[in-house]
Structure formats: structure tokens, C-alpha cells
Amino acid sequence: MSLEDLARLAIDKALEQDAEFAEFRYHLVSEEVVVLRDGEPEGPRTRFVEGVGIRVIVGGVPAFSSTNVITERGVTSAVDEAVKAARAMGGLLGGAVRLSEAEASEVRYLVTEGRRWEDTPLEEKLEILRELEEGLKERLRGVSSRRTLSLGLRRETKLVLNNSGAFVQATTPLVWLRYRIALSSLGYHVEKVARLGGTGGLEVLDAQRVVDRVLEAAENLREVLERGASPPIGRMDIVVGCELAGLIAHECVGHALEADRIMGREEAQAGGSYVQGVGARMGSEHVEVSDDPTIPSSAGYYLYDDEGVRARKRRLVVGGEVRELLHNRETAAHFGVDSNASARASSYNREPIVRMSNTFFEPGDYSLDELLEDVKLGIYVKSCSEWNIDDVRESQRYTGLEAYLVERGEVKAPVRSPVIDVSTQELLGSLDARGRDLEFHIGICVKGSPHQQIPVWTGGPTLRFRGIHVSRR
């Protein structure tokens, strides 16, 4: 029996048992990683996870089940299990669960690959890492260093059908390069871990200048190690690079605007949100943050979410005002709006929940020189070595890694570990300019219980914040 036939059988069986809603989601995740550790190859390592998730609503009560036995018997048993669970929970919920309306859709799409991973010999993949390794060794000559380079693929194939009229079949390959560079000298240690790449084939590495960006990061680390001085202390202007801008967009804004957080659904696991809803102020008029799963070649790319809702760009914050939350169909019904296709699941045995895709500050009009020119005393922070944020996304701390002193509009010597400890309201309220550059990094976002790890992009332009307190570690 084909997958489509299994899906229709599952939905019919659930409806026969008085389900108001039934959904079938086939989900295959295949991964392969090759590693070069200090020049020595490891792997390849592979992972293959395949199965079917079933969602139902019976008498207003939702339930979920899954199976990795993709047969008529396995799938119908999963349907029976979900219906049984929903009936067992009847009367325990405070009210019936509703879903927002969704347009019927029938679509099949896949991301094209100019240089397909599976068609590329292992030796060629290792050669990509070896060439980068040689470039790193050249730039780090004379410095004690450890280098771990990983090149990987995550390929997802999904088929989503439900009785709301969704039929979505999608295949998305994500190619990424992760690097860990650790340097030591005279008792001081610096280390950076980051991941770059996007959807497509191996050609995304060239399109996104991955090798150049890794080599630049290595040069910056060496400069901080060898020339870094203590940062000034006190209130001053902060200019943050694209990498840190993306982290702020994701952690301070994106998570705070997940509708299930605002409803309190995440408080027992990941926390809540200090934001009450649409219309709330979120910083100065210069705060412009979006989440867009439709960006070509992005790590969080999709055209339809895991509920079969068509994706679009979400303008989360416009002019410092919250314009939109991230919704799935359930949270959208609660708030009286339509879903904006934010439902994602990491695997067949996880339920789709509200997630980000590619979250970023919108670019502005300033060049880097213009952002710096009237900074009398400040810090330019391109990335951070560590960060944390509280469970309602209201207070955070960043320790700078690639960081530099700024005096009279000029970037001076590197500084070691400047600490920014600030509330979200103060940080976003002090934003007064956005650069016209725009750059993205891959993040692995973790949410839910059981935990779900999904790839996203975080990004933005260079940003300028006025009068932020800086301390030392």
C-alpha cells in the first residue's frame, strides 16, 4: 500500500471513530556527517529515522500517537491508540480545543541541488574540509590550536494529509559546516563554535562564503588572543555584528512572540514570555524583526508547515510594536486569527508545535563606518563566547568573543570578554540604527517536552545600541 493510500486509510479510520479532526504525517530524517579533527578524518556518521505521526481531536480533546511500522496494521493501530487516548482524557481539559480554518491545498515540492550530497564521493567531501584545515593552519601558525571541522547533510521528506484538505509532500536537504576553533596562549583560552550553510546541495557553501567566513573568524580569534586588552567599564554605545544581532532576534524577540509561550504552554519546560500580545511595545521605533521560512536556501526553509498551512513572511515587530505572533492552528484559534504556518516537528514521533524558522532584524540604511562615526567610546561586538537569558525572555547576559574597542568612531584594539548584562526592554529600547548588511548563521533551536531540535537561521545587520552598561568577566 502506498503512503498516500495509508494516509487516507488512517484519516478515514479516525473519522469513523467520531474524530472531528484527523492528520497523518509521514516524516523521514536522514543525516550524514564527516569530521576532520586536527587534520585527521572521522566517520562518516549516519542517522536514519522514519515513521508516521497521527493527530486526532475527539470530543474537543487532542491526542497524538506515532509508529515506525509503516504498514496498514501499524498505522491503523496508531490511529486506534490516538483515539483511545483522546477519549481517556475527555473531561480533563478546561474546554474544547479548536483549530483555525485553513485553506485546502495539494502541493508537492522539493529543494533542488546543484551538487547533490549523495552523488559526491566521500573523498571530495573530506577534501573540502582538508582545504579549510590547511587555511586555518596557515592563519594560526605559531599558536597552540585545536580544530574540529564537520560537514553534514540533513535530508527531510514529509507527507502531510488531514481532513481539513491539506496534502503536502516536501523534500528538503540542508547542507552545513560546523567548526570549533580553540586557541591558547600564556594561560588564556579562546574558543568559537558556529555552524553555517543552508538548504540545497554542496554549492551553498560557496554561495554563502562559508570558507571565507570561517577563516575570518580564526583570524579574529588570534587577534583577540594575542592583542586583547581589558574592556572599559560603564555605560557606552555598543555596536553588534550580524551574528550577535541574530542571536538577539532569536532569543529576545522570536521566543518571546511564540503564541504557545504567551498562553503559558511552555512554562513548565522552556518558560513563558514577558510579552502580553499584539500591540505591545518592544523597543524603539528602529526595532524591525521578521521571521520568514520562505527565504531560498535558508536553514529554516519550508513552503508549507507541518499542519499543511501555506508559509509566508511574518512581520513580528514593526517600528517597535508587536504586529504578529508565531501561531499554529490551535493558538491561532485561541487568539481569533489565522495560522501563519509556524507548526514544525523534529521527527515523526514528535507533535508539531509553534517554532521559528529564519528570524532576523531587518536591514537598515547605514554602512559600518556610519554606525561607528559618532561613537565616542564604545565596544564593537561581532560574536559572543557565552550567553544566557531568563525563562520569560526579559533579562539576558552576553560575553563578547570577537570584540573591539571603539574610540572617536574608529575600531581600535581587540578587547577580552566584555560583558553586557541588560533587560530586553532596555536593550531594544536603546537601538537607534541598523546597518544595510545582512548575514545569517545556522542555529539548532531546542523546545518542547520531549525536546525537539530543529535547524533555523538567525541573522540581521550590524546594529547600534546607545548607552548600554558594560562590565568585565
Q: What is the pLDDT of residues 207-250, one digit of tens each?
A: 999 999 999 999 999 999 999 999 999 999 999 999 999 999 99
User: Which pLDDT score is estimated for 43?
Assistant: 81
Q: Is the pLDDT of residue 369 over 80?
A: yes
Q: Is the pLDDT of residue 376 over 80?
A: yes
User: Which pLDDT score is estimated for 96?
Assistant: 87
Question: How far is Cα 234 from Cα 280, in angstroms, rounded to an integer?
Answer: 30
The pLDDT > 90 percentage for the chain reads 93
User: Which pLDDT score is estimated for 344?
Assistant: 98
Question: How far is Cα 198 from Cα 201, in angstroms, rounded to an integer?
Answer: 9
Question: How far is Cα 272 from Cα 46, in angstroms, rounded to an integer?
Answer: 36
Q: Give the bridge partners for 124, in sequence order.
A: none
pLDDT band at 24 (very low <50, low <70, confident <90, very high): very high
Would you give the DSSP letter of residue 405? E
DSSP strand E in 7-117: where? 19-37, 40-58, 61-67, 105-110
Beta-carbon count within 10 A of 431 CB:
24
Dig out the grid coordinates for 26 from the structure: 509521514
Q: Is the pLDDT of residue 27 over 90?
A: yes
Place of cell 590547511: 134
Largest CA distance in the chain: 73
DSSP string, 378-403: EEEE--EEEEEE-TTS-EEEEEESSE
- Using one digit for the tens of pLDDT, what is the confidence trace for 427-452? 999 999 999 999 999 999 999 989 99
CA atoms within 13 A on the CB side of 455: 29
User: Which pLDDT score is estimated for 94?
Assistant: 65
Averaged pLDDT, 283-305: 98
Q: Are 22 and 15 in contact (CB under 8 A)?
A: yes
- Using one digit for the tens of pLDDT, what is the confidence trace for 122-150? 999 999 999 999 999 999 999 999 999 99
Query: Strand, helix or coil at 199?
Result: strand
User: Which pLDDT score is estimated for 269?
Assistant: 75
Q: Give this prediction's pTM.
A: 0.95
Question: How far is Cα 102 from Cα 157, in angstroms, rounded to an integer?
Answer: 22
Residue 7 CA from chain centroid, whole number: 29
Averaged pLDDT, 297-324: 98
Question: How far is Cα 367 from Cα 269, in angstroms, rounded to an integer?
Answer: 41
Q: Is the pLDDT of residue 47 over 70?
A: yes
CATH architecture designation of domain 3-227: 2-Layer Sandwich (3.30)
Q: Give the bridge partners for 106, in sequence order.
A: 167
Question: How far is Cα 51 from Cα 48, in angstroms, rounded to an integer?
Answer: 10
Map out the domains of the chain as residue ranges: 3-227, 234-472
Dihedral sign for Cα atoms in the order 35, 37, 38, 41: negative
In 3D space, the residue among 143, 129, 130, 139 whose CA is nearest the CA of residue 217 turns out to be: 139
User: Which pLDDT score is estimated for 270?
Assistant: 74
Q: Is the pLDDT of residue 53 over 70?
A: yes
Radius of gyration of the chain (CA): 24
Dig out the grid coordinates for 222 from the structure: 588570534
pLDDT band at 265 (very low <50, low <70, confident <90, very high): confident
The pLDDT > 70 percentage for the chain reads 100
In 3D space, the residue among 151, 448, 162 whose CA is nearest the CA of residue 329 turns out to be: 162
Averaged pLDDT, 337-344: 98
